[in-house]
Structure 1
Amino acid sequence: MEYIKLLIADDEPVILRGLKKLIFWEQLGFRIVGEANDGTELRDLIRKHEPQLIISDISMPGGSGIEVMTELNEQGYNGKVIFISAFQEFGYARQAIHLGALDYLVKPINKNQLERVVEKAALIIREATDVERNKKMLTYYEKINRTSTIEHQLNRLLDGDMNSIGELSQMGVIAISRFTTVCVLEMDEHADSSRWEERERNLVSFALSNIIRETMDQEPNSGKGLLIQREGLFVILVQHEEKEYPLQLAHDLRQKVHRYLKLSVSCGVGKSMTGIEQAEASYCSALKALKNKYFLGLNQVMRYAEPAAGASKDYRFITELQSDLVKALASQEEERILPVMREMLDQIRIQSGDTRNQAITGVYNAVLAINAELEKFGLEVDIHQNALLDKLSDCQTYADVSLVVEAVLSKIQQHLTGKVSGKERTLLTKVKSYIEENYDSSITLESMASLVYMNPYYFSSFFKKHTGQNFKNYVTEVRMSHALKLLIETDLMVYEIADRVGYNNVRHFSDMFKKKHGKVPQEYRQSFRRHES
């Protein structure tokens, strides 16, 4: 049961004690929250407890009941007052009724009379409370319904439905402004946030929404913002005069979320359009800007920019970087490994058109290609392909992808260091580098043995021990690998390719190519191109 708060006041303690014991207040639905002995104390208790009913002596030191009630009326007090007095004075009674007093009782107070007046007060107070509560509930539900309607119409607008503009205009939420810009804000996922329960997520979402609305309300002259949540994003439609305002708003929001919630958020700022009719276009550009967080990093504000002229799809450049990386790994040139790796990843990002899935695929294929090249040296590492793809796909940013690749290369380095060491590693690297750079020339077992100051027989044994292949087959593998690239990536004639990979006899080259790839060069090229198209 919700009790009515009652305050009693009289300068005679015996009257106060009598009022408290005269009737069973709690049975009538009242709870005495304070007792005042004079007008000054009565004012203090009213401010402290905000009682719904006051029973007060009309004449007290420190301010009469009439004076106190006059002050209450001026302050907008909505409670009820019953006056008591030792005298039946018509002037007092008339003044009290004029000020809105509920009744005027003369001492000594009759129990039955007091009960009737108090029951009357309780009925009036509860009816007024119910009316006020109903008004508040009605206002609340009207606000909820209006908010829901606005969100529905905004979703239609962002989907390109122009009919929503009329509905939003009638609701008075569309401003006359020079620009319309859409910003999209997304909470960055972290290890902790991934373990949040739904209740925690809802609380954070509520807090974030409040920060966005309060920030927009603080600068009403700069622009008008409408907020909705859409597909896990906080979408803000900003109607503004200054073109840079949405960018400033996004930076302000990012800083406040970090300061108050200790969270990082990424924000995409769309193109500023000249009319509300172009809200969908601004929204789409904001989504594109937000996608850049994969490459630019988390906790950033990213403004949409028109794509630059497309980079040339020179995939051979990536292949060359892979070869450079293989050489650096094989020769244990540690100072070159990371710079070449970063250059390769940058080029893969460019060739992917800043598209996350294409970038992951490019990096995955590059790592496998590097390991395949090392296999030709007999230095391959067992890479679990599915595990590698899962790690790359789980990376939140491209910087995390770089760390995964760096860890794979570190593993390869450790493997190579344990497999070939000291002088033998240096000699083997020298031989393989020479073959890689001179495969288009005449290379014999004798010339290579001479290069590293070994006799041919010992060199043959040395080479097979450390690579798992005999020397002649290895040279053929290198030449066929380069021949395959030329066949696929160029329009050179077969005899020109044969010459470029060290074969003077085209027939012999074709035979060796068929032995390796199952088809003669021209058939292979035609088959490959049919498959590609």
Structure 2
Amino acid sequence: MNRNIRVLLADDEPVILRGLKKLISWDTLGLDIVGEARDGIELKALIDSCTPDLVISDISMPGLSGIDIIRDIHESGRPVKVVFISAYQEFSYARQAVQYGALDYIVKPVNTGQLEQVVERAVAVIRQESQEERNKEMLKSYERKNHSITIEELLQLLTDGNKGAASALARMGNLAITRYASICVIETDEYSSQTSRWEERERKLVEFALSNIIKETVDAAGNGYVFRKGERFAVLLQHEQATGPEQIMQDLHHQINSYLKLQVSIGIGWPVTGIEEADESYRSALKALKTRYFAGLNQVLADREGHQEGPRAVAEWTAAQASLTDALKSLDMEQLPVLAGRLLETVRVLSGDSRNQAVSHVYNSILQLEQELAGIGAGGGLKDPEDKPLLEMLTDTPTFEALKQLYLDVLKRLADQLAYKMNGREMPQLLQVKAFVEEHYAENITLESMAALVFMNPYYFSSFFKKHTGQNFKNYITEVRMGHALRLLLHSDLMVYEIAERVGYNNARHFSDMFKKQFGKLPQEYKQSLKR
């Protein structure tokens, strides 16, 4: 629906102004009178403040003449149409005004038919020009959108290895002349491992916000294009310095973390010297993205080529597995975690960038340990409290750090299983104590309360516990609490004081001191050191 046309009336004679307003039905013709002026200076001020579409004015007024007014409109570029009213003796003056761009002129005295005819013509011209302007804007918008889609499609083809896409982009004038080009890939960590957490509407809102931040950051850096590649966002960067993309992606990562509170991993591909080789950089970026399983989530990752130590790592894994088996059979609880750490280091080397390889090596290690225990009559099979298969549990770990922790937990359960078989009657009591601690570690557990649980006096319970575990009960409680605290620190966004409360400490400072004693660093320092 068209809006009414805005009109200014101007004449230095009040009686003529009143007559103009009454001669015709302005509203019926689709016009609103938005102001009246009695001299040229007042008219100029109203044109500035009222933004009219049409001015109907006496050509000769005090202050500024009609020619002055129309010249000012023309020089300012305003799309304002002007109709002048003139006396018969000013006819040549009115014709000069038409040459300056006036739409029409009316000779006094003005009558209804004359005014209606001129106003209807003005309305038709204004409406037509307005529609043409809208059509031009729509065409420009369509061309911009179509141009953007074409670029995105060509970038997708380029990263698929289509060499012709580079030539097409060059013909469109969308490539800069730079030494290097790199592809970077951005993926939201939540999408990759916790898809069910996101409702479809939330996902679209997050992707919209994420797309805006990526485009703003890349546009600010210059010589970059953002496009979708499957479920991920991808960026083509053209740059002079080989290390240029890393700074841009670090800045982008900071923006996403700060403003969207999202965890994202960004893979940076190798810089290539020709845009037609962008597919190589893209594959390199995907390879970098895969390393987040080992490096940790929410990081900027570059593809670093490294030499493989296959045969040597296999030999080290075999030796570490044998040592670990011996320590488990002898229930050497001090050496068990040390040897497990050594074996996991060989797993890291053997796996390269493959998450599946890491899971496979750890799973094989556990199977071999179970078989060894079964050979001495101590194998009972491992079962998750939720009845999940062991391989599924290992596969579900989001990072290598989480895989390591699960492996250590399994070793501890194997050791408890063996100790139970070896120690007969007392072992169920020890397992009962450990199970209670594992379930109630956040509560106030005392030596006396635990002794009462297994019907022992506190002194005997203390001796009994140290005999079977090699550590005193108080240290064991601390160890359990710190283990849970570490998991919360690494795999949640909880504050330090919240973690302290969840693992049984009312005083956050005391908790931090105990954490530092256990792990060598305060909680936040430990978390930051892992990120670095």
Fold in common (TM above 0.5): yes
Residue in structure 2 matched with residue 262 of structure 1 by the alignment: 261
Residue in structure 2 matched with residue 185 of structure 1 by the alignment: 186
1:253 and 2:252 are equivalent in the alignment: yes
Distance 1:326 1:233, change over 3 A: same
Tell me the distance in 2 between the aligned counterparts of 1:388 and 1:14.
98
Residue in structure 2 matched with residue 89 of structure 1 by the alignment: 90
**Aligned to 1:227, what secondary structure does the other structure show?**
strand
Residue in structure 2 matched with residue 357 of structure 1 by the alignment: 356
Deviation at 1:77, TM superposition (A): 1.2
Deviation at 1:241, TM superposition (A): 1.8
Measured against aligned partners, the alpha-carbon deviations of 1:380-421 in whole angstroms (never above 9, x if no partner) come to 653366454444433333234345456656777888999999
- The two structures, once aligned, show a CA RMSD in angstroms of 3.9
Deviation at 1:123, TM superposition (A): 1.3
**Aligned to 2:28, what secondary structure does the other structure show?**
helix
User: TM-score, length-normalised on structure 1?
Assistant: 0.67
Tell me the distance in 2 between the aligned counterparts of 1:195 and 1:39.
67
Q: Point out where structure 1 has 5 or more consecutive residues left out of the alignment.
A: 429-465, 467-533
Tell me the distance in 1 between the aligned counterparts of 2:5 and 2:420.
85
The question of whether the paired residues in 1 share the 8 Å contact of 2:58 and 2:86 is answered with: yes
Q: Return the letter of the residue paired with 1:273.
A: V
Residue in structure 2 matched with residue 27 of structure 1 by the alignment: 28
Residue in structure 2 matched with residue 233 of structure 1 by the alignment: 232
Tell me the distance in 1 between the aligned counterparts of 2:348 and 2:227.
33
Report how many aligned residue pairs link the two structures: 422
Tell me the distance in 2 between the aligned counterparts of 1:395 and 1:18.
86
Q: Return the letter of the residue paired with 2:102.
A: A
Residue in structure 2 matched with residue 515 of structure 1 by the alignment: none
The question of whether the paired residues in 2 share the 8 Å contact of 1:318 and 1:348 is answered with: no
Tell me the distance in 1 between the aligned counterparts of 2:110 and 2:57.
12
Residue in structure 2 matched with residue 174 of structure 1 by the alignment: 175
Tell me the distance in 2 between the aligned counterparts of 1:82 and 1:37.
16
Residue in structure 2 matched with residue 294 of structure 1 by the alignment: 293
Measured against aligned partners, the alpha-carbon deviations of 1:162-199 in whole angstroms (never above 9, x if no partner) come to 23333222212233322222222222326998544545
Residue in structure 2 matched with residue 144 of structure 1 by the alignment: 145
Tell me the distance in 2 between the aligned counterparts of 1:413 and 1:218.
57
Q: Return the letter of the residue paired with 2:207.
A: S
Q: Return the letter of the residue paired with 1:175.
A: A
Q: Return the letter of the residue paired with 2:225.
A: L
Deviation at 1:356, TM superposition (A): 1.2
1:281 and 2:280 are equivalent in the alignment: yes
Tell me the distance in 1 between the aligned counterparts of 2:96 and 2:367.
97
Deviates more, 1:148-157 or 1:317-326: 317-326
Residue in structure 2 matched with residue 125 of structure 1 by the alignment: 126
**Aligned to 1:266, what secondary structure does the other structure show?**
strand
Deviation at 1:230, TM superposition (A): 1.0
Tell me the distance in 2 between the aligned counterparts of 1:125 and 1:367.
83
Tell me the distance in 1 between the aligned counterparts of 2:208 and 2:45.
38
The question of whether the paired residues in 2 share the 8 Å contact of 1:52 and 1:79 is answered with: yes
Measured against aligned partners, the alpha-carbon deviations of 1:200-220 in whole angstroms (never above 9, x if no partner) come to 444443443443343333344
Structure with max Cα Rg: 1
Deviation at 1:109, TM superposition (A): 4.0
Measured against aligned partners, the alpha-carbon deviations of 1:75-110 in whole angstroms (never above 9, x if no partner) come to 211231223467862354134312212122356643
Residue in structure 1 matched with residue 476 of structure 2 by the alignment: none
Distance 1:414 1:117, change over 3 A: farther
Q: Return the letter of the residue paired with 1:279.
A: A
1:72 and 2:73 are equivalent in the alignment: yes
Tell me the distance in 2 between the aligned counterparts of 1:403 and 1:48.
71
Deviation at 1:52, TM superposition (A): 2.6
Q: Return the letter of the residue paired with 2:31.
A: F
Distance 1:347 1:277, change over 3 A: same
Measured against aligned partners, the alpha-carbon deviations of 1:13-70 in whole angstroms (never above 9, x if no partner) come to 7766655554443433334555556656655554455333233454566655543332
1:316 and 2:318 are equivalent in the alignment: yes
Q: Return the letter of the residue paired with 2:325.
A: S
Deviation at 1:273, TM superposition (A): 1.7
Q: Point out where structure 2 has 5 or more consecutive residues left out of the alignment.
A: 431-467, 469-532
Residue in structure 2 matched with residue 518 of structure 1 by the alignment: none
**Aligned to 1:306, what secondary structure does the other structure show?**
coil
Residue in structure 1 matched with residue 401 of structure 2 by the alignment: 399
Tell me the distance in 1 between the aligned counterparts of 2:56 and 2:410.
84
Distance 1:385 1:118, change over 3 A: same
The question of whether the paired residues in 1 share the 8 Å contact of 2:383 and 2:389 is answered with: no
The question of whether the paired residues in 1 share the 8 Å contact of 2:4 and 2:32 is answered with: yes
1:244 and 2:246 are equivalent in the alignment: no
Tell me the distance in 1 between the aligned counterparts of 2:373 and 2:45.
88
Deviates more, 1:37-46 or 1:177-186: 37-46
Residue in structure 2 matched with residue 2 of structure 1 by the alignment: 2
Deviates more, 1:268-277 or 1:258-267: 258-267
Tell me the distance in 2 between the aligned counterparts of 1:148 and 1:125.
35
**Aligned to 1:125, what secondary structure does the other structure show?**
helix
The question of whether the paired residues in 1 share the 8 Å contact of 2:269 and 2:281 is answered with: yes
The question of whether the paired residues in 1 share the 8 Å contact of 2:184 and 2:235 is answered with: yes
Tell me the distance in 2 between the aligned counterparts of 1:55 and 1:199.
54
Residue in structure 2 matched with residue 451 of structure 1 by the alignment: none
Quote the sequence identity (%).
Answer: 46
Q: Return the letter of the residue paired with 2:268.
A: V
Distance 1:316 1:192, change over 3 A: closer
The question of whether the paired residues in 1 share the 8 Å contact of 2:382 and 2:390 is answered with: no
Distance 1:101 1:423, change over 3 A: same
The question of whether the paired residues in 2 share the 8 Å contact of 1:246 and 1:269 is answered with: yes
Tell me the distance in 1 between the aligned counterparts of 2:412 and 2:18.
88
Deviation at 1:6, TM superposition (A): 0.5
Distance 1:389 1:30, change over 3 A: farther
Q: Return the letter of the residue paired with 2:403.
A: V
Tell me the distance in 2 between the aligned counterparts of 1:212 and 1:419.
59
The question of whether the paired residues in 2 share the 8 Å contact of 1:9 and 1:55 is answered with: yes
Tell me the distance in 2 between the aligned counterparts of 1:33 and 1:194.
58
Residue in structure 2 matched with residue 112 of structure 1 by the alignment: 113
Tell me the distance in 1 between the aligned counterparts of 2:227 and 2:319.
45
**Aligned to 2:177, what secondary structure does the other structure show?**
coil
Residue in structure 2 matched with residue 497 of structure 1 by the alignment: none
Distance 1:411 1:313, change over 3 A: closer
Distance 1:188 1:44, change over 3 A: farther
The question of whether the paired residues in 1 share the 8 Å contact of 2:308 and 2:349 is answered with: no
Measured against aligned partners, the alpha-carbon deviations of 1:109-148 in whole angstroms (never above 9, x if no partner) come to 4333222222211211222122222222222222333333
Distance 1:181 1:66, change over 3 A: same
1:98 and 2:84 are equivalent in the alignment: no
Tell me the distance in 2 between the aligned counterparts of 1:393 and 1:202.
28
